[in-house]
Amino acid sequence: MSGKLPAGDGNGLVAIESQLVRDDNQVYVAIALIDSKTVTIDKDSGDRVAKVRVRRIEVVSRPEDVAVCRRLMERALSVRTGQETLPYDLETEIFEAFGGREESDFREEPGTSTSE
């Protein structure tokens, strides 16, 4: 896949552009709306390769929103892979992306809590 960012108001990354330049090791949480702009077919293999269009992207910065995004990512990964326990390398990557170690049950609905 390949892709490019939307122009104008659809590109929420402009809000952190200077930070991206200053600290190229920092990982940010973002949500995006994407679709397929074009699909190329390799005539030899028959493989279809999508060129992704980012319709809108926004950086998530509020801690409570980041926590919800983490649960959503964990749950989506679980649904996609069929694994409820994340492999170590993926857990480490998620830990680094979302900062801090928050134990969460990604099977919960976003924005809900089991604590009383």
pLDDT score at 3: 61
pLDDT score at 107: 41
Of 39, 31, 40, 34, which is closest to residue 53 (Cα–Cα)? 34
Digitized pLDDT (tens) for each residue of the chain, 116 residues in all: 456 788 889 999 999 999 988 998 888 999 999 999 899 999 999 999 998 889 999 999 999 999 889 888 888 888 898 877 666 677 777 777 777 645 444 444 445 444 43
pLDDT score at 98: 77
Q: What is the pTM of this model?
A: 0.65
pLDDT score at 101: 46
- Please check whether residue 50 is in contact with residue 39, taking contact to mean a CB–CB distance below 8 angstroms: yes
Domain spans, the chain: 1-60, 62-111
CA-to-CA separations, 113 to 46, 60, 87, 94, 106, in angstroms, rounded: 46, 20, 25, 20, 11
pLDDT score at 49: 92
pLDDT score at 88: 63
